[in-house]
Structure 1
Amino acid sequence: MTKFRYLLLLLTLVGAYPVAAQQRYELNSGWQGLPIGKVKATGPQLSQPGYALTGWQPAVVPGTVLTTQLVNKQVPDPFFGMNNERIPDIYRTGRDYYTYWFVKDFQEAAAAGDDQVWLHFRGVNYSCEVYLNGQKLNKQTHHGMFLRQAYNITSYLAKGGRNRLAVVVYPPDPVGNPNGGQGGDGTIARNVSIQYTAGWDWIRPIRDRNTGIWDKVTIEKTKQVNLKNPHVVTRVPGVRQPKGAQQPATIQVTAELENPTAKPVAGVVQYTLGGQVVKQAVTVPARTTRQVSLPALTLQNPKLWWPNGYGPQNLYPLQMQFLVGGKTVSDEENLQVGVREIGHQWNAKTESMQVLLNGQKVFIKGGNWIISDAMLRFTKARYDAEIRFHRDMNLNLIRVWGGALVERPEFYEACDKYGMLLMQDFWMSGDANGRWVDPQKLEDQYTRRKYPNDHRLFVNSVADQVKMVRNYPSLAIWCGGNEITPPKDILAAMQDTLLPRLDGTRWFIPFSNADSMSYNNLGGNGDGPYGIQPISQFWGHRTFPFNSEVGSVGVGDMESLERFLPTANQTPPRYLGPTSKPTEQVDSMWTYHTYISYEQYLLPYGAPKTAQDFGLKAQLVNYDQYRALMEGFSSHMWDWYTGSIIWKTQNPWTSLRGQMYDYYLDPNACLYGLRSGSEPLHVMYNPVDSMVTLVNNSFEVKRDMMLVVDAYDMAGKKTPVTQVIVEINPSSSKRYLPINALVKRLGMQQGMFLSLQLQDFDKKVISNNFYWLPDAKGEYSGLKSMAKTAPRLTARQAAPGKIEVTLANPANAPVAFFNRLSLVNPSTQKRILPVFYSDNYVSVLPGESKTVVLDYTPSADVPAPQVSVEGWNVAKQLIHITGK
């Protein structure tokens, strides 16, 4: 291209896409804070730029009072040991103790002409007064944790550009008594706020109840018209496939245009998507907000968005602008659009709903999500890491639990990226909101059933949060509450008015285990159980057809325990009584961190001698437990079940239950057992009837595969079992052959190993599954006396931030069993976190090798990490990483 033609093209593009006039920036540093009891000045005085802030302390915004106190070393880390007991609880101190002023000085010149400047709060808990340069911005006190605030501050800005913002934040009211109940005494639910802060069975109380400016504060600059709350709906009719050419999709877009000026403003609202521009002329009357609908766009051969395991997560950038007079950009919004259509249908056989995506039914393999951090210390990087872990577990849905919040846009962005469908609960819980008689609750069921105090605030907050997250393709299901519906008037407003008007594209469930989602004809509450189970239970016992909560244990290994348990408390559980039903005793610190029992399921490996021994054996149980959970549900897809959601996959505090990785982002064997059991195309062993079974989650027939089944004894001797060509239909499970007689014969004395593989005709492994089976008494006697092996280990830097580790086991050796790989700091020998492993807790057969890829972010602090490998019968080794 000639220089002249390039310049001509550049000028043409500039004319087609005017440069945006607005700017946004975040006020996320330089804040100062002080308790209200130590502040004598009024809001108008404090917010004067010249008022001296002598004795004030650095404050964390976004953050809470507790995060500010922690940064200033006024409280100990509440996640370590029993430090949380050393922090005063607001129920006993009174609300003033955690009522704080937050002050921020910032530079912003007074706006010129008709330019506008806006101040946005994305979340304050719980109520606040806002002052700028001596003037109060909110005429009435703001209430509600889940209601955004926006103020036009154009007329309040100082002429010289030196401005001061002062915000006094009040805690929830009531704060609730943290008496050990779910949500404490329940009264925290009188607020439109977060419920877990008064304590739950997986967390201790958050002492300030998360009081503070907990989410982003931003300044936005526009011309006359503010473009806000765009809404993008994608219509994808018919039944689609991830591959091949696509029939057209339809894009429908609306937006709100706010004109705060004294004159009507004429212009054009337009957006670009997929190389096409859609425009609509509009006049916005003075001092009004107007919603405008743009002409529908037909998108030819669209690149569709699919959930994890079913297809790619294609996203289109969408730029939306309002042009004053059709020329000058007044405001601009930029979105990432996933072209897809969510649906659902009733499965008469299972008596539950099944999720449809682009016309195809999707078997739900999900995890319950609480919140990223109990003290609301959210980061885009942490969100990305946690959702990536869920992708790596081969899950396809995350349910955001109703005792927490509507998750942040950065969370949704990560879910869009990694293909996680979202079931988003609103802020109700059967525990606090009156589903059951509960002596720990202050008020009776009839009273609690009417919570919260302010129904209008709840409804307004729903409307606002729906607008905030409705454009994310990952969002699939709205849910009225956890295990209970909202009060009738709130439910009617949500179901009949708000969601149809503001969204209208997604399935609404009145509560998380409603019969309209999953008909409960088995008794009980329609979810659970929540403790460890025999692995045969997952395969042979029919439970709720779309279980919104079923889960188990999740203790990490010794290195994980050391992060938050004092040395004196790093003692293993003791088992008393018979192995069939032991009595387990644990250190009080473990109890404080909400440990739940492994019961008799760890003892077949031998009673733990140390905490390190317990941690290792717990990983064997963890792996087996979660692999079996998802395998059992998948084996009955569309027959017994349409999905299952694990309770739960992560903890926002240093809890010792229900987690695939710990609070510090260190994965345990739960993650890799679940990764195996959730594999989209998977070969597996049914422990009930010893059938080898295949499951195929894809939308296409899988054929031309060799099923290879081999058994190994404890010495590594191989017994070929079968080798047969197999195929399986789309979205189905298929039973192939029983191997019960062989398992009984080979495993009677010491137990055995069972290797199941699907291979293509070039012997490339498509699916690999490896089981360790007990002896005739249910003991792992062979593992207890298993001989050592010394695999050859190599580590190669394949690319920046990517390491390939190969374990090669000698031909005449026993199986190199259950090896944990870790990327470590060579100076401390501690793990680098987070690291993403293509697999872990791996076993290598005699004469074979296995390569694991480690993906991490390089750091100048650790320029030359090492790889640690340690297994059940493999001594710990440190490996230097070689170049490419």
Structure 2
Amino acid sequence: MIKSLTIAKALFISALVITLVAPTKSVKAQNSYELNTGWRCAPIANTKDPGTAISSINYNINDWMPATVPGTVLTTLVANKQMPDPFYGMNNEQIPDIYKTGRDYYTYWFVKDFKQAAATKGNQVYLNFRGVNYSFDVFLNGHKLNSQLNNGMFMRRSFNITKWLTAAGNNRLAVIVYPPDVVGNANGGQGGDGTIAKNVGIQYTAGWDWIQPIRDRNTGIWDKVTIQTTGAVKINNPHVVTLVPGIRQPDGAQQPAIIKVSTELENAGNAPVSGTLQYILDGKTISKKVTLKANATQEIKLDDYSLANPKLWWPNGYGPQNLYNLRLQFVADNKVSDQQDISVGVRQLTTEWNARTESRQINVNGQRVFIKGGNWIVSDEMLRFSDARYDAEVRFHRDMNLNLIRVWGGALIERPEFYEACDKYGMLVFQDMWGSGDCNGRWIDPMKLEDQWTRRKYPDDHDLYLASIKDQVKMIRNYASLAIWCGGNEITPPEDILKALKDTIMPALDNTRWFIEYSNSENMSRNVAGGNGDGPYGIQPLSVFWNDRTFPFNSEVGSVGVSDYESLKRFIPAENLVPPVYDENTHKTKTDPVWDYHKYIGYDGFINKYGKPKDAEDFANKAQLVNYDQYRALMEGFSSHMWDWYTGTIIWKTQNPWTAMRGQMYDYYLDPNACLYGLHNGSAPLHIMYNPTDGMVMVANNTFKPLTNLMLVAKIYDMAGKETLITQVFADVTAATTKRYLSIKPNIDAAAKEDGAFVVLELLAQDKTLLSQNIYWVANEKGDYTGLQKMDKANLQVTATNLSNGKIEVTLTNAAKGPLAFFNRLSVVDATTKARLLPAFYSDNYVTVLPGETKKVMVEYTPVKDAPKPLISVSGWNGPERFIAIGQ
């Protein structure tokens, strides 16, 4: 039986959409609007008429299906309940795969009626497509607009439709969209049989080790469609470069920065046009007189501008993300012909070889930045992108205290709204181009249809690839966050493509960023530790992250990521909510088939150390303890060797585009798990920590400022809450380094021998303000957490206060006598259903409160209109779930 969305799940997704808040746009045309509603579609099997007929306003499409645009064919079919939700259970197996059906099955007509008055006085009207997969023909009011088939998933297309608009203003657009030329056999390999990479498109749609195949291979009008009105002259592909010489600090007065602006100007008229190209920045206007030939496009460079005392843009954790608005205009006859507003972050990126680590380091505004990154696939496997979802996901990365996102090469060059969010939250972007070692021939692979020599030449159309790269570079090059261009994931593109990228395209279009040939290239990082340049993957003893040296700029290292029980219930049927069972003797795991289908990755014996799980809920709760510990240790271990072994590391991976069960800090529904807060702790800019193998206490300072006269405190608590002070000493911390102080291993070993213990490290300012706190739970001498299983209930008092609309302060106070209130999960929930309101953002979570201590957690969410005031749910390891009313 095909299972579709339950009513509760449908309501949940509706609430999710409602609560996402859209940020403002950073690039905006003067007169432009989206065609994003009112589309209809039909498969070609149902429609034999030509596009010239279908695009006639009188052609009957009343029986056509409502279509989701932007979106894919599968997006539309699921929305219309013609296909089940592929994210739930094993529904994806019920959806016909294009390899078996043939391409025609997912070839569709899309039609949109829209109002647009005919242009007057030399004005021009354009129809713009930002992304169609894979090829398409387009018709308007009975006229075909393209002379040859538009190919390629990653090509923007623009059509001047001025002469085809009707006098009455009633217009019909018809687009026929064809799937990728080669759809690939989804045979279980990475990218299936690999032939999906013959296209210039997304590779993972044929399946990967973290996702099932996407049955239509993302066929559709997957990105925005806009109508734009200009005067005779249109602004295309503006380019803004900022130069910030010298070594800067985030605060204080600044020496000037240089602003360089150029753009393409297109004169669509039949007569020359004279006018002024100008931009307005920080109250100043920089301009140039221009004369453009008829029916011509010309690139114009404006004079450099020296911006006095600039407010600089910095990566997260190092300084503010200041952004300027730059308004670029072409003015003729005292009228604005076209205008674009561009958000500009003033910063300069450089790289240099670090001889000590034998890897490249990234400098921003002259300061070296230790990279703490996460690998990103896409926001949604069905390409249901939104500005608001991008904003929420990138904000989560900011909340993890990361400073870089790597966009993986088996996916896409992301949409502008993604980089806009990265600009806002201070995330540098490491952008792979299309290609992967799996599909493109790096390894022998029996799952692949063709040999390595053949696969090494993918894609089939190199000219289309290069044209697509040029177009996408122009689309995103103005974003301050974009830091690195990369030729591909674990492999270079074919030699002719690589040569064009290095020698021609990047120097001409974007010569201020670091270009590396492939993601684990020795030009980025020497292989000083052996191995293949990345990893380890999967769950690890914590000592591995601290003591085992890996690639000095590691592009992929990662572990587990099962979310909690509330998350699992959203996509796993009740009968399949069965916990995995790990056999300590055989080292094998027995896993439910739905868990396997959703790519569960084993926790091995790590869960059992907390007591064998009673059920799936108990398993998921204990998994959060492991999640937190794994990711805190991962980032602490790399930070402990900052600028000694490493210049950076990037987690594989931080998010999933569907309901997978590995490598995620939050689930598809934007519900965070303990991975996120383990990272939030371990990646903090100023962070006290200790090595679990030798007991060495150290402080990582990821800021540009030294700190003096601090107090370092180390103490131990037993399971009953009794405190024992180990040491309390003054400490100084140099800028941008990790400093070692003393070992507390003998104290820990003695205290934890029987039932384990809690180790508490604190760093205090001169006024005794707590700057950093880190609470570890330590296993007994056998490696088990028996003491946690014996803990008494904590006497935790919780209050919640509404500070403003959508902002809550939660106060947690633990009684002075008694155990720690351990590992408390906070959630903002619907008062009636008790379902979590998503997304919600917490200043901290999975919080442990010491005896006699008070902690405050800030919660932000988007209130649902006319809904009752929510509640705060609090549930801890040694405390039952409670629902707290929110006071004023």
Alignment-mate amino acid for residue 36 of structure 1: I
- Partner of residue 636, structure 2: 631
- Partner of residue 853, structure 2: 848
The more displaced of 599-608 and 247-256 is 599-608
- Partner of residue 355, structure 2: 348
- Partner of residue 251, structure 1: 259
2:159 is paired with a residue whose SS is strand
In structure 1, distance between residues paired with 2:592 and 2:866: 36
Give per-residue Cα distances to partners, 1:378-401, cap 9 Å, x unaligned: 011110000000000000000000
The more displaced of 293-302 and 155-164 is 155-164
Tell me if structure 2 keeps the 8 A contact 1:21–1:329. no
Give per-residue Cα distances to partners, 1:539-583, cap 9 Å, x unaligned: 0111110000000000011101000000000011112234xx732
Alignment-mate amino acid for residue 172 of structure 1: P
1:22 shift after superposition: 4.6
Alignment-mate amino acid for residue 233 of structure 1: V
Match of 2:720 among 711, 715, 718: 715
In structure 2, distance between residues paired with 1:46 and 1:128: 15
- Partner of residue 751, structure 1: 756
1:762 shift after superposition: 2.3
- Partner of residue 597, structure 2: 592
- Partner of residue 12, structure 1: none
In structure 1, distance between residues paired with 2:75 and 2:237: 31
- Partner of residue 3, structure 1: none
Q: What does residue range 291-306 of structure 1 map to in structure 2 within 5 Å?
A: 291-306=299-314
In structure 2, distance between residues paired with 1:858 and 1:160: 43
1:269 is paired with a residue whose SS is strand
Tell me if structure 1 keeps the 8 A contact 2:30–2:340. no
Match of 1:834 among 835, 839, 843: 839
Q: Does 1:864 align with 2:869?
A: yes
In structure 2, distance between residues paired with 1:565 and 1:659: 17
- Partner of residue 476, structure 1: 483
1:300 shift after superposition: 0.5
Please list every run of at least 4 consecutive aligned residues from structure 1 whose deviation after the TM superposition is greater than 4 angstroms: none
Give per-residue Cα distances to partners, 1:817-858, cap 9 Å, x unaligned: 111111111211111111100101011111111111111111
Tell me if structure 1 keeps the 8 A contact 2:484–2:516. yes
- Partner of residue 666, structure 1: 671
In structure 1, distance between residues paired with 2:795 and 2:235: 64
Match of 2:423 among 389, 400, 416: 416
The more displaced of 496-505 and 857-866 is 857-866
Q: Does 1:534 align with 2:541?
A: yes
Q: Does 1:513 align with 2:543?
A: no
In structure 2, distance between residues paired with 1:254 and 1:46: 41
Tell me if structure 2 keeps the 8 A contact 1:635–1:695. yes
- Partner of residue 16, structure 1: none
| Structure 2 unaligned spans of 5+ | 1-27
In structure 1, distance between residues paired with 2:185 and 2:452: 17
Q: Does 1:398 align with 2:405?
A: yes
Tell me if structure 1 keeps the 8 A contact 2:39–2:113. yes
In structure 2, distance between residues paired with 1:223 and 1:872: 65
Match of 2:511 among 500, 504, 513: 504
Match of 2:146 among 130, 135, 138: 138
Match of 1:92 among 89, 100, 105: 100
1:860 shift after superposition: 2.1
1:761 shift after superposition: 2.3
Alignment-mate amino acid for residue 110 of structure 1: A
Q: Does 1:561 align with 2:561?
A: no
- Partner of residue 13, structure 1: none
In structure 2, distance between residues paired with 1:840 and 1:439: 45
Alignment-mate amino acid for residue 761 of structure 2: L
In structure 2, distance between residues paired with 1:693 and 1:783: 26
In structure 2, distance between residues paired with 1:794 and 1:282: 64
Tell me if structure 1 keeps the 8 A contact 2:584–2:605. no
Q: Does 1:236 align with 2:244?
A: yes
Q: What does residue range 180-199 of structure 1 map to in structure 2 within 5 Å?
A: 180-199=188-207
Q: What does residue range 366-445 of structure 1 map to in structure 2 within 5 Å?
A: 366-445=373-452
Would the alpha carbon gap of residues 434 and 21 (structure 1) be closer, same or farther in structure 2, given more than 3 Å must change?
A: closer
Match of 1:547 among 550, 554, 566: 554
1:382 is paired with a residue whose SS is helix
In structure 2, distance between residues paired with 1:459 and 1:771: 51
Match of 2:84 among 62, 76, 84: 76
In structure 1, distance between residues paired with 2:774 and 2:867: 35
Give per-residue Cα distances to partners, 1:277-308, cap 9 Å, x unaligned: 00000111111100000011000000000000
- Partner of residue 782, structure 2: 777
Match of 2:346 among 314, 339, 343: 339
Tell me if structure 2 keeps the 8 A contact 1:790–1:875. no
1:861 shift after superposition: 5.2
Match of 2:208 among 200, 222, 225: 200
Alignment-mate amino acid for residue 197 of structure 2: A
Q: What does residue range 168-183 of structure 1 map to in structure 2 within 5 Å?
A: 168-183=176-191
TM-score norm. by structure 2 comes to: 0.96
1:54 shift after superposition: 3.5
Q: What does residue range 635-654 of structure 1 map to in structure 2 within 5 Å?
A: 635-654=640-659
In structure 2, distance between residues paired with 1:54 and 1:794: 56
Tell me if structure 1 keeps the 8 A contact 2:702–2:737. yes
- Partner of residue 13, structure 2: none
1:443 shift after superposition: 0.3
1:109 shift after superposition: 1.3
Match of 1:101 among 80, 84, 109: 109
2:567 is paired with a residue whose SS is helix
1:563 is paired with a residue whose SS is helix
Cα RMSD of the aligned pairs, angstroms, is: 1.0
- Partner of residue 618, structure 1: 623
Tell me if structure 1 keeps the 8 A contact 2:29–2:341. no
The more displaced of 521-530 and 186-195 is 521-530
Give per-residue Cα distances to partners, 1:103-136, cap 9 Å, x unaligned: 0111111111211000100000000000011111
Q: Does 1:268 align with 2:276?
A: yes
Give per-residue Cα distances to partners, 1:497-549, cap 9 Å, x unaligned: 11110011000010000000011133332111210101111001111100000
Alignment-mate amino acid for residue 177 of structure 2: V
In structure 1, distance between residues paired with 2:803 and 2:38: 42
- Partner of residue 18, structure 2: none
In structure 2, distance between residues paired with 1:21 and 1:539: 50
In structure 2, distance between residues paired with 1:565 and 1:591: 11
Q: Does 1:726 align with 2:731?
A: yes
- Partner of residue 11, structure 1: none
1:389 is paired with a residue whose SS is helix
1:879 is paired with a residue whose SS is strand
Alignment-mate amino acid for residue 334 of structure 1: D
In structure 1, distance between residues paired with 2:866 and 2:148: 50
Alignment-mate amino acid for residue 589 of structure 2: E
Tell me if structure 2 keeps the 8 A contact 1:554–1:659. yes
Give per-residue Cα distances to partners, 1:129-179, cap 9 Å, x unaligned: 000111110100000000000001111111111111000000001100000
Q: What does residue range 454-465 of structure 1 map to in structure 2 within 5 Å?
A: 454-465=461-472
In structure 1, distance between residues paired with 2:774 and 2:690: 9
The more displaced of 568-577 and 281-290 is 568-577
Give per-residue Cα distances to partners, 1:663-704, cap 9 Å, x unaligned: 000000000000100000000011121011101011111122
Alignment-mate amino acid for residue 409 of structure 1: P
In structure 2, distance between residues paired with 1:71 and 1:588: 26
Alignment-mate amino acid for residue 161 of structure 1: G
TM-score norm. by structure 1 comes to: 0.97
- Partner of residue 172, structure 2: 164
1:798 shift after superposition: 1.5
Give per-residue Cα distances to partners, 1:761-804, cap 9 Å, x unaligned: 22211111000001111111111111111211111112211111
Percent of aligned pairs sharing the same letter: 63
2:620 is paired with a residue whose SS is helix
Tell me if structure 1 keeps the 8 A contact 2:35–2:224. yes
- Partner of residue 10, structure 1: none
In structure 1, distance between residues paired with 2:877 and 2:214: 39
In structure 2, distance between residues paired with 1:827 and 1:871: 22
